Chain A
Amino acid sequence: MQTIEGKVWNFGKDIDTDLIIAARYLNTSVPEELAKHVMEDADPTFVKSMTPGDIIVADDNFGCGSSREHAPIALKAAGVAAVIAPTFARIFYRNAFNMGLPIFELPESREIKKGDVVTINMDEGTITNKTNGKVYKFTPIPPFMQELIDAGGLMNFAANEVAKGEK
């Protein structure tokens, strides 16, 4: 059974990728360097206070703005285990899958509060708030994205084509 369990951090709506990782840190793409500044302009205390394995639960339109893939890289390298939000911005959504950062669309995200402990069950498609026992169904991953994930992700797909000599 594939599960992710962690303690929740809340962020609001329209969390843009400048808040996730500010442009002033984009003179490198080294994950560990980016991780030092993740969410800095949204909450300067986040990096120091979070524990690897924690889960971000935000409001609508998480990851809007710049296409910088440094955003999911920074979150993942900091140890953020998953991001849950009612909706994600389009480019971030795709980048997160490509980078292997688990993200889940959950319309009821606002009900999950800071400090709650949630369990995400990927097989059952559920998110359980262990703090109050509430169980939610997250929006299923689109079939096409699931196929890409099953194939090992976009770059594995590309590597397979290279190996087959198709390109």
Chain B
Amino acid sequence: MGQTITEKIFSGHVGKKVYAGEIVRSNIDMIIGNDITTPISIKAFEESGAEKLANPDGFALVLDHFIPAKDIASANQAKISREFAYKHDLKNYFDEKDMGIEHALLPEKGLVVPGDVIIGADSHTCTHGALGAFSTGMGSTDLAFGMITGGNWFKVPESIKVIFTGELQANVYGKDLILEVVRQIGVDGALYQALEFTGSTIETLSMDDRFSLCNMAIEAGAKNGIIAVDDITKAFLADKNLAREPKLHYSDDDANYVRVVKIDVTNLEPVIAYPSLPSNGKPLSQAVADKIAVDQVFIGSCTNGRLSDLKMASEILKGKRVARRTRLIVTPATQQIFKDAERLGYIDIIIDAGGVVSNPTCGACLGGYMGILGDGEVAIATTNRNFVGRMGARSSGIYLANSAVAAASAITGFITDPLSLQ
């Protein structure tokens, strides 16, 4: 019987053919922790009596959520991770010196590789599936188990095959593809399952768009999102100093899928997810007709804080000014993206337009640090979640969108079609 790419990755790791539904204990190639979730893992690690990590180089500790510390409690929390990193002389330890959001930083550093099994104590760990790896979010205790033993238990997931066909319209990106998937199947439409993204539209999709697409697989409840390696992936990897030799896997023609979702993108408009679920997507034309005023525009996060996001924002903002009653915050996802955006002139354009450019951080996306929304305020954000209170006050509202729509909306102060500004 044929296998899906996800089944093949697990088969490769456990040394025999395994299929969906089987429970396997697999070794893990990369374990990812951050400043919020790792302290609980460290406590469990130390209570277990473990003295060293099973695979120290297969552990990446990225301080990105509340760093630089926003208050004394955050500073004390970060200390736990820092002291652990120094004690264990962790090689893959990224603090303020090498700042970046974990899911943008690790691919940039070559630490996540095609064919890997990756876990992270962060639900958006599914991002790395864009590189043809199995990558999933888990809790802190499961992370600790991985740190101690080098592996963990997995139920090999069933797969949903999503086939995108057709050519994307102007201003439609990977973000819109995943918002459309979540709109169609719902926030629990892929519960416990893999979302495998295929089709002619994917074949020309950039890596930045693929990361956005896989990043929000969790918003459909999926265990992982995955895209097989092709020439675009290989070009992305070409200049990286990869931590391991990539292993390329491809689904068999007769692989078993629990469901096939076909999406013709030819007439797909940018998708705007209305408050308060990512599945609440509407076409941009409807959002424009609804005349939705925005107090804050946020461009950033592990979903859309990459160089292409800053590029498209700066192209739209060039020579323009952010609306009087609207604020714009732009957060490059890593220091490298920040530097590249600076060199290419994007940062100057954004600042001249009235935007604030922050250090790399998860920051405003989760309402924990900087860019918090006040009572009744409305934001359009390039992030992944528009849950109640996600970015601040319980009475605030969040519309999710791609970076081009977000930038256009900053100029007018209303959710806006970038094409209408030309």
- A residues near B (Cβ < 8 Å) are 14, 16, 18-19, 22-24, 26-29, 40-42, 44, 60-61, 64-70, 73, 87, 89-91, 94-95, 98-99, 144, 148, 154-155, 157-159, 161-163, 167
Contact = CB atoms under 8 A, between A and B. Distances in A.
Contacts of A99: 139, 141
B54 A167 contact: yes
Contacts of B23: 144
A41 B145 contact: no
Interface in B136-192: 137-142, 144-145, 148-150, 153, 155, 187-188, 191-192
A47 to B, nearest CB: 14
Given A27-B368, A91-B139, A44 B394 contact: yes
Interface of B: 23, 36-37, 39-40, 43-44, 47-50, 54, 65-66, 70-71, 73-74, 77, 120-123, 125, 137-142, 144-145, 148-150, 153, 155, 187-188, 191-192, 218, 221, 223, 277, 366-368, 372, 385, 387-390, 392, 394
B145 A155 contact: yes
A19 B150 CA distance: 32
8 contacts: A23-B366, A26-B65, A27-B66, A65-B123, A65-B387, A89-B191, A155-B144, A158-B48
B140 A91 contact: no
**Closest 9 pairs between A and B when the two form their complex, measured CB to CB:** A95-B139, A98-B141, A41-B389, A27-B73, A23-B366, A69-B139, A61-B188, A23-B368, A67-B123
A20 to B, nearest CB: 11
Contact of B149 (A16, A66, A158): A158
A148 B137 CA distance: 20
B39 A29 contact: yes
B48 A159 contact: yes
A24 B368 contact: yes
B139, B145, B155, B188 pick with most chain A CB within 10 angstroms: B139
A130 to B, nearest CB: 30
A154 B154 CA distance: 13
B77 A27 contact: yes
B37 A68 contact: yes
A94 B144 CA distance: 13
B184 to A, nearest CB: 16
B390 A23 contact: yes
A28 B73 CA distance: 6
Given A94-B139, A155-B141, A161 B149 contact: yes
B188 to A, nearest CB: 4
Given A67-B122, A91-B139, A22 B50 contact: no
